[in-house]
Each structure stands twice: as structure tokens, then as C-alpha cells.
Amino acid sequence: MNLQNLTISQIQKDRKANKYSSASLTQAYFTAIEKYNSKLNAYLALCKEQAIVKARASDKRLAPGKLRSQLDGIPIAIKDVICTKGVKTTASSNILKNFIPPYSATVIEKLDQAGAVILGKTNLDAFAHGSSTENSDFGVTKNPWDMGRVPGGSSGGSAVVISAGLATIALGSDTGGSIRHPASLCGITGFKPTYGAVSRYGLIAMASSFDQIGPMASTAQDARILFDTISGKDDKDATSFDLDKPIRQSDKKKNFTIGIPKEFITDDVDPDVKKAIENAITILEKNGAKIKEISLPHAKYALAVYYIIQTTEVASNLARFSGVHFGEARDQFGQEAKRRIMLGTFVSSAGYADKYYQKAQEVRVLVKEDFDRAFKKVDLIVGPVAPSPAFKIGEKTGDPLKMYLSDILTVPVNPAGLPAISIPCGTVERNKKDLPVGLQIIGPQKADYDVLDLAEYFQQITDFHLLKPNLY
Ligand code: GLN
């Protein structure tokens, strides 16, 4: 069985045709995990016994036609920053190395009700601070396209298990790019929904006004199915809401007017990445999209805005890990968490708050207004996800600013609360290895289904998403 290109619909078709059961598929994933995880370090914990029980239960529902949903019996991996009742949830931090949550996140409850099979918890930068998964207290996750390189971050583990065929679908979280960035560097599909479209209840908070849980998958169609399952208003998260389900108009997606922000295609973007993006834009244009150049003049301030507001919120959210209620003693915080707590405390402290925090909130509005203006002229915005393909392990760890710059093209989306996706659009060669490049599609708030439509359409007319690293 080729685990790397399995999709939800393929699995359900194969199960109905008695080719394999959810239990045997789940077992096949665990066999592959046993073989590859020691090299990749993508999973931190496995839920083997539970998974097999759930898979068997789903198989029993299949015969009488009683599957609960399209996700019934589908194996999924969960970023280890999302609480799972009774299953250790560490946020990849020593502080929480023994934390077993007494409750599950709303998204996990919804997956349970849908019949999904949780395989295990995946590695990340501790508390989701980072762009390479190197900040994990439990070791770096390796990129399956080149084991000497990072998978991106912070949802590096979830991206790797999809790309390496160690789960069918996965959940990640995105505060400044943490779903889209690793999706781009690992050649998978990663979708950050509109802020509030998915409940954050049970997500260990990083920066609450940016955080969003979202799907990671091999295809945009699978991302859509997972999104449909986890989205919706939740009484436990006051910022959540119900999104209107679209009536699909299949020919509409070809006629989208697409904006290309000139600020996103600069000299800071690797020339090979630029080429892949330009090629993708040409493909879209040839297939009916109208392309327009647009400008987001304040996007260049988004990273500064983000590192002021985000660190302020981080400092506040991490205050609960006092060693009294949760977790180990405070001295167990890693360097990056300490850096952010100090920065956030400083920029929001009396005497400095007006100059930094307040100013950043004002500029945040300008960033959002740029997008509002652009979306009066275009339906969607397209550009690169990351300025470079996967970089080498250790290449940026000595220079936090360099690391922060990895997010320059994903971060503007979060202060504005917009939906955005990363889909594969080609590869570039480095040291004789192919490395994937992601195309970013950004939509107006609540246009999640337009973003998914265009992504799905792109995957109907191209095969980039079928390219996988050579592991097997
Ligand atoms: N890489 C960004 C950061 O370090 C984004 C992280 C995230 O989205 N969780 O803050």
C-alpha cells in the first residue's frame, strides 16, 4: 500500500471495495511510523491501542452503511499543542513534559464524534514559537525531502507526517504562519482558516488574537473535509462563529480575479522560488483567472507589528505556567520562550506601551485596511509562502531575526484574521535534492471556501501536490 498519496475519498472507496479495513490501514501506518519516526522525529507520542480500537469500531459501522462522516475511520495526527484528554500534551516544552490534560479541545471532540482515528501527537517548536521545529525541547524534526534540512515550523511534525505518509491528515495551528510555512517546506497542503472559524478551546494559547487551528493534508479536498468537521461556533470560545457553507459553483473558481502583491515578490525571495510562483500564476491565467498587480503598502510593517503584539500576548499567556497550577518550574522555559516573555513584557510595560504596543495596534489596522482595499478589486491574493525552500538544520538558529524573517510573507495574514492556504507549486533543486515550494492563496475574512475552491481547482489542473519525498 502506498501510504504517501492516500486521500480520504480513496480510503473510503477502498474500504467499501474491501481492499483493506481502517484497522489494517491504521496498523500499516504504525508499521511505517516504527520504521521512519526514529529518523524523522515527527511524532512525540503514539496512541496505538486506542487507535486500533477506534479503527475496528469504524470498520463495524462500515458494513451496515452507518459511517458517521467522511472522516470515520480516517487516521489523523494532532499537533502536540492541542489538548487530548488522557493523552500527554507537551507543547514540545519541558514545562509540560508530564502534562496529561483532563479534557479535550473542541476540535478533538468533533473528530471523535466524526469517528476519526487519532494516531498520535506531533512535534513542534516549543509553544509554537518558531519556523523550523528546532525550538522543540524534544529534538528537531527532519524534512523527509532532505534529512539535513528543517521541515519549517512551528507545525513541522504535522507537515512531515503527511509528506512522509505517516498519517492521512493532520491538525496544525497558525499564529504567524505555522501551518503554511511547514506545508510549503514539506510539499503538502496547509490551510489557516479565518480567525474564529475554528474553536481555539483546548489549544495551548500562544498569541490569542492570532492563533488559529487548521487542517494539513495531501490535497485541498482533504483539507476542506477536515475543515468542515472542525469549524463552527463553540460556546467555549467567544471568538468562534459559524461560517456560511458555500453553494459550490464549479465554474466560478476559474474566473476569479487574482491580485499579485508587488511587495511579496521582491529580491528577498529566492529566484528559484520566484520562478515557481510565476509559473503557477501563468497556469492560473491560462485557465481563466484574471491577474492584476496590487499593492499592500503596509505589509512591510506586519512583521514588526506581529513581534510586538504576539510577544505581549505570549508573555501574558505563559504567565499561567508558574509551576504552581501547571507544569514544571519556570526555569524549564526554553530560550525562545524566555526571549518572547522578556520582549513582550518590555513593549507593553508602563512608559513603553504607548510607543510600542499601542503603536503596533494602530499599524495592525493599517495592515488590515490594505487587504480590505485590495479585496475591493480582486477576489483572492496569490504569492509565495516563504522566501526560501527548506533551509539547513542549524542555519538560522544563531540569529533569531533571520529566523523571524522566514515568516515575512505569512505573518501579514494573521493580524488581519484572513484565511490563507499553502499548496505545492513545484520544486527547486539544492545539492541534488528536490525541495518543494508552496503557493499561498489569501482570501477576505470568511471567504474560506473561495480559498479552498481555488486551491482545489489548481490541484485539478496540476500534479505538483502528487510529488512526494522518496522514503520507501
Ligand atoms: N514562526 C512564527 C513565530 O515564531 C509563527 C509561529 C506560529 O504561527 N505559531 O512566531
Note the pLDDT tens digit of each residue in 78-109. 999 999 999 999 999 999 999 999 999 999 99
79 assigned to active site: yes
Q: Over 90: is that where the pLDDT of 248 sits?
A: no
Total residue length of the chain: 472
Ligand 1 first shell, C-beta below 6 A:
128-131, 154, 174-178, 206, 310, 407
Is the preceding omega at residue 154 within 30 degrees of 0, hence cis?
A: yes
Average pLDDT over every residue of 429-458: 97
Strand partners for 442:
381, 420
Note the pLDDT tens digit of each residue in 107-136. 999 999 999 999 999 999 999 999 999 999
Note the pLDDT tens digit of each residue in 31-63. 999 999 999 999 999 999 999 999 999 999 999
Q: What's the confidence (pLDDT) of residue 250? A: 56
Please report the DSSP string for 315-347 in residue order: HHHGGG-SSSSSSS-GGG--HHHHHHHHHHHHH
Q: Over 70: is that where the pLDDT of 403 sits?
A: yes
Q: Over 70: is that where the pLDDT of 280 sits?
A: yes
Average pLDDT over every residue of 130-146: 98
Q: What's the confidence (pLDDT) of residue 322? A: 83
Q: What's the confidence (pLDDT) of residue 291? A: 98
Q: Over 90: is that where the pLDDT of 314 sits?
A: yes
pTM beyond 0.95: yes
- Give distance in angstroms: CA of 420 to centre of ligand 1: 15
* Alpha carbon distance 396, 132 (integer Å): 9
178 assigned to active site: yes
Instruction: Tell me what percent of the residues of the chain surpass a pLDDT of 90.
Output: 93
Q: What's the confidence (pLDDT) of residue 247? A: 59
Q: Over 80: is that where the pLDDT of 254 sits?
A: no
Q: Which atom of ligand 1 is nearest to the CA of 406?
A: 1
- Give distance in angstroms: CA of 317 to centre of ligand 1: 15
Instruction: Tell me what percent of the residues of the chain surpass a pLDDT of 70.
Output: 98
Name which of 173, 154, 179, 159 is nearest 336 in CA terms. Answer: 154
Q: Which atom of ligand 1 is nearest to the CA of 210?
A: 8
Q: How far apart are the first and last CA of the chain?
A: 11
* Alpha carbon distance 421, 439 (integer Å): 8
Mean pLDDT of the chain: 96
Q: What is the CATH number of domain 8-300+361-466?
A: 3.90.1300.10
